[in-house]
Structure 1
Amino acid sequence: MRFFPWCAAFLLAALAGCDMDPTGKPNFTPVEEGDEQVAMLWPGLPMYAEPNRAVDGASLWSGSRQSLLGDRRAETKGDILTVVIEIDESAEISNDTSRQRSGSESLSVPGLLGLPQRINSQLPDGASLDDAVSIASSGSSAGKGSVKREEKLELRVAATVVGVLPNGVLEIEGTQQVRVNFELRELLVAGFVRPTDISRQNEITYDKIAAARISYGGRGQITAVQQPRYGQRALDYVLPF
């Protein structure tokens, strides 16, 4: 019984390493560890001089982003924009190849200084050296392959501008996690966008993101059951067949 506390401590440590609490519920990724919060905490540089509040405070044509007609599109580090992901694609490729080859070679020596005739008399009935050499070969190969893919995904996620490149291109990153019971759904998006591609609604579609990295998946009890065990993965990696 003295080993029971050690076993319990080991089990708790294993669950902590798997991002799960003792009940098996997956834990959220801490927000403080992401680049989004770091970008939001960055004060940045002012884009224009502060207006005279005494004069422009009530003006509808103020250059401030908080004004009625101000441009609220993301443009600096720490700003937030919406990424619209609407993927509805399908692809089908089919290849069929076939190849066939045949060849034959024959060599006969009906008379070679009388040797075949002398040897034929000593061979069993029906045996002869008239056709001394005969070679035949044939070969064939066939191959067929097909690829069929169909993907459909409709999502919206808020992303943060984590950096501005020297040419004005914005680097964005966005994460979204939703936990339902013991399963955690996770959406990640990252890439580079041009400020001119951002709509007036402060939205951008996924096809305008350069070097886009979009990941949609989950982790939890159901995902863990669908994955092979560690022993099976080790055997699949080691065994050659």
Structure 2
Amino acid sequence: MKSKKPSYLSSLLKSLLAMSSVAIVSGCANSFKDMKENDPYWAPALPTVNDSRNSETGSIYNPASAQMLFQDKKALRIGDIVTVVLTENTNASKTADTEVTKDSQITMPQVSAFGRDLNIGGDNPLVVTVPAQNRTFAGEADSTQTNRLQGTITVTVHQVYPNGNLMVKGEKWISLNQGSEFIRIAGIIRPEDIDKDNQVISTRVANAKISYGGEGPLADANRPGWLTRFFSSDWWPF
């Protein structure tokens, strides 16, 4: 009769190998893999075409090309451009200190039955003692993070809401000798927050989504290797 132990170990090793392969692939995942140039989602919006502007009305006024006489020209329509001044500064710190201690000990007096003390081997009393239990857990964590992003990026208006607010988004790619860097921003702004230079600061952008990254040798050098990402991922059981 052949032993099934080698077969069981072989199946176990295959399962562990499969799990390791999945974990390594997940560790190799690049968070910027989907961020590429010429993404249609970030393409600039084109001005809407109104067929009525070509109708013969006999008037020299054309709403499509009308200029503002008593205020600065600002982005108000789909396809208009506006410059976002990036002034992002974030500072975050967190400290956690946890300590749990539990001690327990139970000792019972001499055991008696039917009104008489029970002895072991003559005059030796029978005493039940439960060994003491001591559990201690101590954990400490300290995290500090500081981010700063400054610069400018010009975006286009993609949607005008009924209340006049503007949904804007856009991207900027800079190609360098050692790779490319990009910045993307999307959010909602108020026309009142646009200054005379057709600029708005990023802290005035509602529901802002700002992404900054890069690709190439310099960006790869700043990322940990796949094995480091594996040990830092949720797949690592320890």
Q: CA deviation at 1:96?
A: 1.8
Written as runs of structure 1 = structure 2, the 5 A alignment for 1:190-209 is 190-209=186-205
Partner of 1:142: 138
Q: What's the TM-score, normalizing by structure 1?
A: 0.66
Answer yes or no: is 1:167 the counterpart of 2:163.
yes
Q: CA deviation at 1:102?
A: 1.8
Once residues 184 and 116 of structure 1 are traced to their aligned partners in structure 2, the CA distance between those partners, rounded to angstroms, is: 86
Once residues 101 and 219 of structure 2 are traced to their aligned partners in structure 1, the CA distance between those partners, rounded to angstroms, is: 47
Once residues 227 and 148 of structure 1 are traced to their aligned partners in structure 2, the CA distance between those partners, rounded to angstroms, is: 19
Partner of 2:80: 79
> C-alpha deviations, 1:188-218, integer Å up to 9, x for none?
0101111112122211111111110101110
Partner of 1:8: none
Q: 1:130 to 1:103 in 2, by over 3 A?
A: same
> C-alpha deviations, 1:46-74, integer Å up to 9, x for none?
7xx99858xxxxxxxxx723x6x542111
Q: 1:78 to 1:240 in 2, by over 3 A?
A: same
Q: CA deviation at 1:238?
A: 6.3
Matched residue of 1:30: which SS? coil
Matched residue of 1:212: which SS? strand
- The structure 1 residue matched to 2:151, chosen from 134, 155, 179, is 155
CA contact (8 A) 1:97 1:143 kept: yes
Written as runs of structure 1 = structure 2, the 5 A alignment for 1:11-26 is none
CA contact (8 A) 1:36 1:162 kept: no
Answer yes or no: is 1:42 the counterpart of 2:43.
no
- The structure 2 residue matched to 1:220, chosen from 194, 216, 219, is 216
| Runs of 4+ residues deviating >4 angstroms | 49-53, 225-241
Partner of 1:116: 118
Larger Rg: 1
- The structure 2 residue matched to 1:29, chosen from 12, 28, 37, is 37
Q: 1:138 to 1:150 in 2, by over 3 A?
A: same
Unaligned runs of 5+ in 2: 1-35
Once residues 168 and 206 of structure 2 are traced to their aligned partners in structure 1, the CA distance between those partners, rounded to angstroms, is: 10
Q: What's the TM-score, normalizing by structure 2?
A: 0.66
Partner of 2:183: 187
Unaligned runs of 5+ in 1: 1-27, 54-62, 123-127
Q: CA deviation at 1:97?
A: 2.7
Identity %: 23
Once residues 231 and 145 of structure 1 are traced to their aligned partners in structure 2, the CA distance between those partners, rounded to angstroms, is: 24
